[in-house]
Amino acid sequence: MSTVPHASHWGSFTAVREADGSVGVRPHPDDPDPSALLANLPVAATGRARVLRPHVRRGWWEDGAGPDERRGRDEFLAVGWDELLDRLAAEYRRVLDTDGPEAVFGGSYGWASAGRFHHAQSQLHRFLNCLGGATRSSGTYSHGTAEVLLPHVLGSLEALVSPTAWSVVEATTELVIAVGGLPAKNAQVASGGISRHEVAGRLRGARARGAEFVLVSPLRDDLAAELDADWYAVEPGTDTALLLAMSHVLVTEGLHDEEFLRTHCAGPEEFLASLRGGDDGVEKTPEWAAPLTGISAERIRALARRAAAGRTLVTLSWSVPRARFGEQPLWAAIAFAALLGQIGLPGGGFGHGYGSTGGVARRAGSLALPTLPQFGDPLRRRIPVARIADALLHPGEEYAVDGRTETYPRLRLVHWAGGNPFHHHQDLQRLQRAFRAADTVVVHEPFWTSTARHADVVLAATTTMERVDLGAARYDDRVIAMGRVHEPLGQARDDYAVLAALAQRLGVGERFTEGRTAQQWVEHLYEQWREGPAARAGIDAPPYAGFVAAGELVLPPEPTERVLLASFRADPQRHPLRTPSGRIELHSAVVAGFGYDDCPGHPVWREPEERPDAAFPLHLVANNPAGRLHSQLDHGATSQASKVAGREPLRMHPADVRARGLVAGQVVVVRSRRGSCLAGLVASADVREGVAQMSTGAWFDPVAGAAAGVTCGHGNVNVLTTDTGTSRLAQGCTGQHAAVEVSSFDGPVPRVTVFDQPVTSGA
């Protein structure tokens, strides 16, 4: 038996390798609340669903590159690394010579795995930068809307990345209004890894001190039951209406902080006028909001008054803006907090993403981390991350974003490493059409995900447990000496090794590798960090060998009393925000100047185009899963244990289950205007009536779906969602909601095939 320290997005751990080759996982001994997702990891070492050697799609290999309807349906050929990389290098040369670097899409969005050197996107971006750049993506699926809106309203992303520290909230907040909740499942993950999961303990501590909680969400379990929250079971997608009506109550009852508006805010007049109906003649009263939100006018009034009565923190989860007009709940929550006048005070104000990952509001993370140099992106050509299908389907077409008019490039070669668009993107049948429009799709993957199955060139990648690396994240207090747990399975290679071999063929090998092996790079990055940022911060880090022997380095504690916008509050003249006015922009002349009716100059209520109707009467909430991180290791033990009848579970209120004559535990079919999938039915009173909840991340299985006459036989919720931007401002992802109907599935239930090896033959 051997033990090796390692790190994952859901926690640091010790991997235990048994004599028979199997791998076990023990959580970090200092973790007070380790993640159940650790139990998903051992499946990666079994070879199940692994890409064990490089593959190529038969049609691409035999007929050459070009748009191809067979992509995603064709047979794969197992080929040798050298012959495949030779062909891929030739295809790169063709595309670059004909259309230039802009025709390569290397955005490659995704969470990949923890580890500073082997981070798949960093590797791919460095490689592409050596070649002259590529079209990349801007923003994230997580909080792409905030990334565009917050600079206009607050002048920075601070409210998103380091709001008031949890320690301050635990010690001082009297009322937490959690819009979108603070779901325990999401706080268990944090990009780059986390050694101690603390959110549940902080919330418990606040409650024990006497803090009260209000949950605004269609799902009761978006906040731990032990917090005894007052549940506002809001109709999905109507949080803006609720917040505007609460703002109206503050203003009409004189509960707002006029002084704070005058000294710290820009455009309060426009915002207050709009509450009075200045935009559309409709006053935003609680009576106006009640039928939209499903919350009575009395409860709306009561919540506004309660918020004004003490130290109140308004939190908005990252999920709420992931919907059509998603800018509005974010802006409205900031405006409501501004009216309360507590922004910049300990325990009050606003924060975005508390509980959305375990890292938010933890350390401020001012210490630079070991980082693979990128050489800079010479092309600087971006598309908003969630507009990838639009770009592939509409080359040359114009689109609006953040006040600019841009043109989609003609993308010919799509190169993806460390992401799973056939999990994360919306309207997956549209994404299939988009992928089929490319000339060549290259995917690095350890697993036969649906993205790998929609590629032409499948490069067998190692998993993190097959590599040596450095585990570090800005909000974590450890640097982990990630050791190799086991040898690579089959012929899998590190993304670095594959890209180095491709770079060699394209004449940029030396530039890409700088003559170092992967192990030399890991040591080099550590030593550079030790002698640079760590030494400057007074951290006495041992040389690499000592670091590896210790297994980890504990970083010194940071001050824990961080309060968002405290210095701005104390002196807005000396510490202005980086907005045009230097203040919180309740009305933005810049945004108003863009002339977007889908995102005007201040928070407004906009009715999404798709609402439940007679044909699709249920409001689907497509949130992040509890049993895995996104789609990662869906075949692992924890994820599999969460399935119902072998499908992704779909939860509905017992009354909705009864009304359809359904029975919990049965296989159902979920349909939207875009597609359909099978699901395993769960009845739960934690779900608001009229709502269906189904998490993302079940691997898309069109094969099993075709057998059943549906789009996906396994339960990938993104066959149901809409591929539309939030608005012309942010063009963010809108995957959180759709209108659906659920009915009994009475045909023979197909076997889930997506974890099997695909149809393959030797070349």
Instruction: Give the residue numbers annotated as catalytic, written as ranges.
Output: 109, 111
Binding residues among 486-515 for ligand PGD as defined by CB under 6 A? 495
In the list 172, 238, 449, 513, the residue contacting ligand PGD (rule: CB under 6 A) is 449
In the list 144, 218, 419, 572, the residue contacting ligand PGD (rule: CB under 6 A) is 419
H-assigned helices in 276-326? 286-293, 297-308
Integer-rounded Cα Rg, in Å, for the chain is 25
741 DSSP β-pair partners? 671
One-letter amino acid identity for 304? A
Applying CB under 6 A, the span of 209-217, 608-616, 619-627, 739-747 interacting with ligand PGD comes to 619-627
**What whole-number distance in Å separates Cα of residue 199 and Cα of residue 201?**
5
> CB 135 → ligand PGD: shortest distance, Å?
18
- Applying CB under 6 A, does 630 fall inside the site for ligand PGD? yes
> CB 503 → ligand PGD: shortest distance, Å?
16
Q: Which is nearer to ligand PGD, 163 or 344 (CB)?
A: 163
8 A C-beta contact, residue 121 and residue 417: yes
Q: Which is nearer to ligand PGD, 244 or 492 (CB)?
A: 492
Residue 533: partners with Cβ closer than 8 Å, 6 or more residues away: 367, 368, 369
- Applying CB under 6 A, does 735 fall inside the site for ligand PGD? yes
CB-CB neighbours of 371 under 10 Å = 16
Nearest to 629 by CA among 126, 182, 191: 191
Site size toward ligand PGD, by CB under 6 A: 37
In the list 87, 324, 424, 643, the residue contacting ligand PGD (rule: CB under 6 A) is 424
> CB 119 → ligand PGD: shortest distance, Å?
8
**What whole-number distance in Å separates Cα of residue 375 and Cα of residue 377?**
7
Residue 470: partners with Cβ closer than 8 Å, 6 or more residues away: 115, 116, 117, 370, 479, 480, 481, 482, 522, 525, 526
- Applying CB under 6 A, does 457 fall inside the site for ligand PGD? no
Residue at shortest CB range from ligand PGD: 735
> CB 423 → ligand PGD: shortest distance, Å?
5
- Applying CB under 6 A, does 581 fall inside the site for ligand PGD? no
Q: Which is nearer to ligand PGD, 490 or 543 (CB)?
A: 490
In the list 411, 417, 472, 502, the residue contacting ligand PGD (rule: CB under 6 A) is 417
Binding residues among 302-361 for ligand PGD as defined by CB under 6 A? 319, 322
Backbone angles phi, psi at 24, to 5 degrees: -115, 170
In degrees, rounded to 5, the angle at the alpha carbon of residue 510 between the alpha carbons of residues 505 and 513 is: 100
In the list 444, 454, 493, 569, the residue contacting ligand PGD (rule: CB under 6 A) is 444
- Applying CB under 6 A, does 638 fall inside the site for ligand PGD? no
Residue 719: partners with Cβ closer than 8 Å, 6 or more residues away: 427, 428, 429, 672, 674, 675, 676, 677, 700, 705, 711, 712
Backbone angles phi, psi at 704, to 5 degrees: -65, -35
- Applying CB under 6 A, does 285 fall inside the site for ligand PGD? no
8 A C-beta contact, residue 456 and residue 427: no
Q: The tokens of 185 are what?
A: 């499942």
328 DSSP β-pair partners? none
- Applying CB under 6 A, does 715 fall inside the site for ligand PGD? no
Residue 572: partners with Cβ closer than 8 Å, 6 or more residues away: 263, 264, 582, 583
Applying CB under 6 A, the span of 79-87, 196-204, 219-227, 439-447 interacting with ligand PGD comes to 439-447
8 A C-beta contact, residue 41 and residue 463: no
- Applying CB under 6 A, does 50 fall inside the site for ligand PGD? no
In the list 144, 180, 418, 600, the residue contacting ligand PGD (rule: CB under 6 A) is 418
Applying CB under 6 A, the span of 222-230, 268-276, 626-634, 708-716 interacting with ligand PGD comes to 626-634
Q: Which is nearer to ligand PGD, 191 or 342 (CB)?
A: 191
- Applying CB under 6 A, does 623 fall inside the site for ligand PGD? yes
- Applying CB under 6 A, does 415 fall inside the site for ligand PGD? no
E strand or H helix at 458: strand 457-460
**What whole-number distance in Å separates Cα of residue 673 and Cα of residue 720?**
7
Nearest to 647 by CA among 700, 686, 685, 690: 700
Applying CB under 6 A, the span of 168-176, 196-204, 418-426, 524-532 interacting with ligand PGD comes to 418-426
> CB 120 → ligand PGD: shortest distance, Å?
4
In the list 158, 212, 427, 445, the residue contacting ligand PGD (rule: CB under 6 A) is 445
Residue 500: partners with Cβ closer than 8 Å, 6 or more residues away: 509, 512, 513
In the list 632, 676, 716, 731, the residue contacting ligand PGD (rule: CB under 6 A) is 632
78 DSSP β-pair partners? 55, 762
Q: Which is nearer to ligand PGD, 212 or 723 (CB)?
A: 723
Nearest to 325 by CA among 83, 16, 738, 609: 609
In terms of Cβ atoms closer than 10 Å to its own Cβ (0-12, 13-18, 19+), residue 309 is: exposed
**What whole-number distance in Å separates Cα of residue 522 and Cα of residue 192?**
16
Binding mask 27-46 for ligand PGD (x = CB under 6 A): --------------------
Applying CB under 6 A, the span of 89-97, 641-649, 713-721, 722-730 interacting with ligand PGD comes to 713-721
Q: Which is nearer to ligand PGD, 179 or 308 (CB)?
A: 179
- Applying CB under 6 A, does 412 fall inside the site for ligand PGD? no
> CB 167 → ligand PGD: shortest distance, Å?
26
In the list 423, 430, 484, 653, the residue contacting ligand PGD (rule: CB under 6 A) is 423
**Considering all CA atoms of the chain, what is the largest pairwise distance in Å, rounded to the nearest integer?**
76
Binding residues among 97-126 for ligand PGD as defined by CB under 6 A? 110-113, 118, 120
- Applying CB under 6 A, does 672 fall inside the site for ligand PGD? no
> CB 116 → ligand PGD: shortest distance, Å?
12
> CB 632 → ligand PGD: shortest distance, Å?
4
592 DSSP β-pair partners? none
8 A C-beta contact, residue 130 and residue 512: yes
> CB 98 → ligand PGD: shortest distance, Å?
27
8 A C-beta contact, residue 33 and residue 197: yes
8 A C-beta contact, residue 542 and residue 132: no
Binding residues among 677-706 for ligand PGD as defined by CB under 6 A? 696
In degrees, rounded to 5, the angle at the alpha carbon of residue 256 between the alpha carbons of residues 284 and 166 is: 105
Applying CB under 6 A, the span of 241-249, 406-414, 509-517, 715-723 interacting with ligand PGD comes to 715-723
Q: Which is nearer to ligand PGD, 264 or 635 (CB)?
A: 635
- Applying CB under 6 A, does 420 fall inside the site for ligand PGD? yes
In the list 631, 638, 724, 726, the residue contacting ligand PGD (rule: CB under 6 A) is 631
One-letter amino acid identity for 381? R
In the list 186, 315, 726, 736, the residue contacting ligand PGD (rule: CB under 6 A) is 736
- Applying CB under 6 A, does 422 fall inside the site for ligand PGD? no
- Applying CB under 6 A, does 192 fall inside the site for ligand PGD? no
- Applying CB under 6 A, does 636 fall inside the site for ligand PGD? no
- Applying CB under 6 A, does 752 fall inside the site for ligand PGD? no
8 A C-beta contact, residue 289 and residue 244: yes
- Applying CB under 6 A, does 129 fall inside the site for ligand PGD? no
Nearest to 648 by CA among 624, 682, 691, 679: 679
**What whole-number distance in Å separates Cα of residue 449 and Cα of residue 98?**
31
Q: Which residue has the tokens 């779906």?
A: 705
- Applying CB under 6 A, does 142 fall inside the site for ligand PGD? yes
Interface residues with ligand PGD (CB under 6 A) are 110-113, 118, 120, 141-142, 319, 322, 417-420, 423-424, 444-447, 449, 461, 464, 495, 622-624, 629-632, 696, 717-718, 721, 735-736
